[in-house]
Amino acid sequence: MSVLSTAYDRLGDAHLEFRCCDTSFRVHATGVRAASGAAAARRTVEELETHLDAFDPASAVSRLNSRGSVRNTHVARIVRRGLEYADRTEGVFDIRQGRLEHDLKAYLSGDRDAPPETFDTSSVTVDGDRVETARPLDLNGLAKGYIVDRAAREIGGLGRTGFVSGGGDLSPPTGPVGVESPYGDETPLKILDTEWSVATSSGYRRERAGVDHIYEPTAERLGARHESVTVVARRDCMEADALATTLAAIPLEDALSLAEAWGGLEALVVHGGVFHRTEGFDRHVHES
């Protein structure tokens, strides 16, 4: 076998689909040792789930919420980012709502008769990899984006490209990607062509009696205000994830103002059947 033939044998295209973190993940890798890169990305997703699954009693997040403290690098990174967004959104994005988030998910799954009514506020501190909190935290608005970001690092490398998608969160795609319609249509709302991370937030997938998984602590209000919000973020998928959730929770005018003022971010808000875009969003839309 020639050297050239051996080199080509190492090139390939790998695609994985699997369930993890209570959602569907897709991993795609192309190029040198594509299968190895895709497999490494999947291992990262599954390993991080053991740290960040709030409903697994053995996870670091569960230990934090039950004991009030934990030493874990991943949790500390996410909490730091959560505190940053709480400050920048004036409390709309609030990781301190762990008890409400747990009860809300129980209601949506049918394990609770009524939606929760109590919003928590408490102190949270981070020192190195140690996190302490007086009340349970809700890290779900960041954890999925964090997992996508970390898994995507396993794909990138010399001679290899790819992406990771998890439950509406997408690392920078390697080609055009469709934005799913909240109305059940097969035709995408938009086709994006972007080098930024993508996240979509909406309430229609997890809803019961008009209540969904979105909430706004500053107004003590449950439920998304828009049919869907799609965000593209230059920083990473964590940022896209957090801001999609934030914009979904607040009134339309506030959502558009916040998105326009946020550097390295563009948004599409579908409200009352009307598309509302930030000024630069169309630069990330595929030209047909």
CATH number of the CATH domain containing 253 = 3.10.520.10
Residue 193 resides in a domain = yes
Given this model, what pLDDT does residue 115 score? Answer: 93
The structural domain count of the chain equals: 1
Residue 235 resides in a domain = yes
Quote the CA–CA distance of 274 and 247 in Å, as a whole number: 16
Residue position matching structure tokens 């948004």: 267
Sign of CA dihedral 23, 137, 197, 152: negative
Residue 230 resides in a domain = yes
* Domain carrying residue 196: 175-288
Residue 28 resides in a domain = no
Beta bridge partners of 169: 166, 199
Number of helices (H), then strands (E), in the chain: 8, 17
Q: Which long-range contacts (CB under 8 A, 24 or more apart) does 84-90 make?
A: 85/142, 85/242, 85/243, 85/246, 88/262, 89/246, 89/258, 90/218
Given this model, what pLDDT does residue 4 score? Answer: 43
Residue position matching structure tokens 């080098």: 195
Residue 42 resides in a domain = no
Given this model, what pLDDT does residue 182 score? Answer: 87
> In terms of Cα–Cα distance, which of 227, 260, 221 is closest to 243?
260
Given this model, what pLDDT does residue 280 score? Answer: 97
Residue 197 resides in a domain = yes
pLDDT tens digits for the chain (288 residues)?
344 444 434 678 999 999 998 899 999 999 999 999 999 999 999 999 999 998 899 999 999 999 999 999 999 999 999 999 999 999 999 999 999 998 999 999 999 999 999 898 889 999 999 999 999 999 988 999 999 999 999 998 788 999 999 988 999 999 999 998 888 888 899 999 999 999 999 866 678 888 898 999 999 999 999 999 999 999 999 999 999 999 999 999 999 999 999 999 999 999 999 999 999 999 999 986
Residue 273 resides in a domain = yes
Residue 225 resides in a domain = yes
